[in-house]
Amino acid sequence: MSRSGRVVLSIFFWAFVVYLFVPLVLMIVMGFKDSRFIGFPIRSVTFDWYLGVFADAEIMYTFFYSVVIAIASTVAAVIIGTWLAFLLNSWRFMGRAAIYGMMILPALIPGIISAIAFRIYARQLHIEPGMFAIIWAHAVHNVPFVTLVVMARLSTLPRSMGEAARDLGADPFVVLMRVTMPYLRPAIIGASIFCLLLSFDDFVRSFFLGSYQPTLPVLIFAKLRSGMSPEINAIATAALILTAILGIWAERSSRHLARESKS
């Protein structure tokens, strides 16, 4: 490629990076502004908004409420999703295609529609809006992601691996615990983190199925309605840093695990 071509290409690249990151950077910067009014110029800098967020019992409670929901829904989704992956991967049976289709559906339905459907169904089942309902909806929504990731990994497990374990004296349960599950570990960890982030980030389902206690995205939304303030920037920045750390760690560790277990 010619020199000028490379220059043009790198200009495009950096322009795209700016386009992607300027909103985030602005959001972070505004969290430090010593004024209620968001916008330039910034005359003085303060940590008060952040301190305020960490001192605010409501925000902190909401944060942990969201975390608990994320963890519980992830545990449920991983258990059901992995089980489904085994079922769909094991043998061809009647109705396999139907189960596969139903498994994948929650990932494809628009959030607003599934949220309304959940709300209606929850009422039918006499499930009160609140924590359990949100966990339930998040878990159902996240199952397909777990199943797809685990199935992809499971399909690369050579049949001989399980046979080798049997050959060496392992009964089917020992094969599952000592060979199959460790082999699936990178996939399960990756899927779990993805589920945690999906749940933590979810607004629509949490909004429709929640009670008076909001999740973090719902709380931010509520605060937005009473006017934008740097406090929101501070909450968002804290959440951004947390999820970014989790995401990067997941990416790196799953890459490491995948490398280790490649044979």
Partner 1 sequence: MTLQEPLVRIEGISKRFGKTVAVHEMHLEIAKGEFVTFLGPSGCGKSTTLRILGGFERPDTGRVLLGGEDITGQAPERRHINMVFQDYALFPHMTVAQNMAFGLELKGMGRAAIATRLKELMAFLEISDFGDRYPSQLSGGQRQRVALARALAPDPSLLLLDEPLGALDAKLRTQVQLELKSIQRRTHKTFFFVTHDQNEALTMSDRIVVMNGGRIEQDGTPEDLYFRPQSRFVAEFVGETNLLEGQVRGRDGEDILFDWCGVTLRGRAHADAVKPGDDVAASLRLERVGLYPTKPETANALQGTIAERVFLGSRTAIDVAVGEQGDRRLRAYADNETLAALPDAPIWLSWDSPSLSILNR
- Which residues here bind partner 1, judged by CB under 8 A? 158, 160-161, 163-171, 174, 178-179, 182-183, 185, 259-263
- Least CB distance from residue 163 to partner 1, whole Å? 6
Q: Which residues pair with 33 in a beta bridge?
A: 45
Q: Nearer Cβ to partner 1, position 251 or 260?
A: 260
Is the previous residue joined to 110 through a cis bond, with omega within 30 degrees of 0? no
**3-state helix, strand and coil shares in percent for the chain, rounded to the nearest 5:** 80, 0, 20
Q: How far is the CB of 4 from partner 1 (least distance, A)?
A: 44
Question: Closer CB to partner 1, residue 99 or residue 164?
Answer: 164
Pick between residue 188 and residue 219 the one whose CB is nearest to partner 1: 188
CA quadruple 99, 102, 107, 108: dihedral sign: positive
Find the shortest distance in angstroms from Cβ 150 to partner 1: 16
As a whole number of angstroms, the distance between CA 154 and CA 85 comes to: 8
Please report how close the Cβ of residue 156 comes to partner 1 at its closest, in angstroms: 10
Residues 6+ apart with CB under 8 A from 63: 216
Q: Which is nearer to partner 1, 179 or 250 (CB)?
A: 179
